[in-house]
Amino acid sequence: MSERIFILVLGLSILLALYLEQDMLMYALPMYLMFEGITNIRLTRLLQSARHVTLDDGLYMYRGTSRFELEATRIWRIIVAIVLATSFILIHEYNYDVLWFFPWFLGFALTGAGVSGVCPVLLAIRFLGFK
């Protein structure tokens, strides 16, 4: 599984969980992304090593100098987890219903990034100097 397919599956699962109102899945997805971001144990790498193949990310990459040693995909996972969890918790626990837009936008944006191969947030993180 490449990063592009992972982003597509993540976006579709966010949209499906929101549409079917599966709150437990919406709480589990940010926790899973945070776990991957902190530990750098990624599902995509595990599946590639189990199949004995090496796939490229499948995403458009910004080729610049890296100033930081952290990978951009780790930072991306942490950012997505924080935005998704914060908006969903504020909507359901504190009744800020005006924030309904953020999880839906995130789901559609990730689905679009998975289909097109261009993730603007990941490009911006790489532009900032992460490798």
Per-residue model confidence (pLDDT) at position 20: 94
pLDDT mean by block of 10 residues, the chain; 131 residues: 87 94 92 92 82 72 76 91 92 83 92 91 88 82
At residue 100, the pLDDT reads 85
Distances in whole angstroms, Cα of residue 14 to Cα of each of 11, 69, 71, 82, 125: 5, 30, 24, 14, 22
**Which residues form the domain of 10?**
3-128
Number of domain units in the chain = 1
> The pTM is what?
0.86
Angstrom CA distances, 105 to 12, 46, 49, 127, stand at 12, 29, 33, 23
